[in-house]
Amino acid sequence: MIRIVGIGASTKDITIRALEAIEKSEVVIGYKKYINSIEELLDGKEIIKKGMGDEIARVELAIQKHFDGKQVAIVSSGDPGIFGMANVFFQLLGKYSGIEYEVIPGVTAATYGASLLGSPLHDFAVISLSDILTPLSEIKRKIKYAARGDLVIVLYNPISKTRKKPFREAIKILLEEINPHTPVGIIKSSCNPPYISLINLNDLNEKEIDMSTLLIIGNSTTYIEDGHMITPRGYVVKQPLHELSRDFYQNFLAGNIVEGPNINCDYYPCHHHSQNCTFCYCPFYPCGDGSTGGRWIKDKAVWSCQDCEWIHKYETVKCIRKQLPLILEDVEDLKKRKKELLKLRRECIHQTRNLNNK
């Protein structure tokens, strides 16, 4: 049996199944750095350490050992299926018949890094910036469309001593396509404890990045709160409807609202001059999602919209106005159809953030 074993992004995160697979093996083959990281598990086994770039030789050797009747493990950092040894194994498997094999998944750098930052992953793309086997034009295309698709983007292998161009090109594309204030998480798992930092895309500095760095670039809804990077999924926070909000939406549905700035309001401007007051009471309240500036007031169970200026922007109001009548036919729909309302909110965030970038 050949087992292609993911040993995880850090030695603490190796799975029970990976430990068992290594224990069953008589021969363990891998890149020397990864073999060294699990040395304490390899007592009494034949160990074959190889260098970077000889992946094919590692697989051929494993197959030869397998035909000699040995139990073989090919170790791969992270997950073998994500820029790991599974791909090269299956590329060569068709050459032979009668090989028994098993792939043991592992914790990849994307999920490991995400666990250190908070909860930054929603729908996401994992892209390697290594152009050793992949043309730079392909890498650039993938980054561009992942950014346009509003995916969270996880960049592996961002830079090496001799390979900086893909990183520079990637950042250039991202700055053209998404908001320069988009949060970015930087993780270096080679440091002990792992180095983590949260910055804006605009502030990403090449000097901070090396081959062991992982970058997680947020999407249009990602925000940072209390040192955590969060990409909200949109869970509904239930709360009774405030009487003033109920009155406001009764008037709204009857067409009795002030569109644009309400300069006769005692509180005008509660956010900024020329604010759009059409949604003085937000139809999404409480959205429970800090991507537009709202926050929980700690220990009070109150959602504060004080710092949300998004709802008072003209393009936001235009986007919401267009679709709100399809959802809100009765004041009770503010509660009953909250999921649909929150989906409308996400759609408008995406639309307005894109408009703001151009």
Least distance from C-beta 263 to ligand SF4, angstroms? 20
Nearest to ligand SF4 of 166, 286 (CB atom): 286
Nearest approach, Cβ of residue 75 and ligand SF4 (Å): 47
d(CA 269, CA 1): 72
CB of 163 to ligand SF4, least distance (A): 42
Nearest residue (CB) to ligand SF4, 117 versus 308: 308
* Residue whose pair of structure tokens reads 């998404």 in the numeric block: 178
Bridge partner list, 125: 153
* Closer residue to ligand SF4 (CB): 19 or 257: 257
**d(Cα 121, Cα 185) in Å, to the nearest integer?**
11
Q: Least Å distance between CB 278 and ligand SF4?
A: 12
114: nearest Cα among 82, 156, 154: 154
CB atoms within 10 A of CB 61: 17
Q: Nearer Cβ to ligand SF4, position 81 or 288? A: 288
CB of 288 to ligand SF4, least distance (A): 8
Neighbours of 201 (CB within 10 A): 18
C-alpha–C-alpha distance, residues 232 and 325, integer Å: 25
User: Cβ 319 to ligand SF4, closest distance in Å?
Assistant: 12
Q: Point out which residues bind ligand SF4 (CB under 6 A).
A: 282, 284-287, 292-294, 305, 308, 310-311
Residue 179, CA distances (Å) to 156, 176, 248, 275, 346 in order = 21, 8, 33, 22, 16
Q: Which is nearer to ligand SF4, 274 or 304 (CB)?
A: 304
**Whether 275 contacts 311, CB under 8 Å:** no
- Residue closer to ligand SF4, measured from CB, 78 or 286: 286
Decide: helix, strand or coil at residue 233.
coil
Query: Residue of minimal CB distance from ligand SF4?
Result: 294
Exposed, middle or buried: residue 198 (CB in 10 Å: 0-12, 13-18, 19+)?
middle
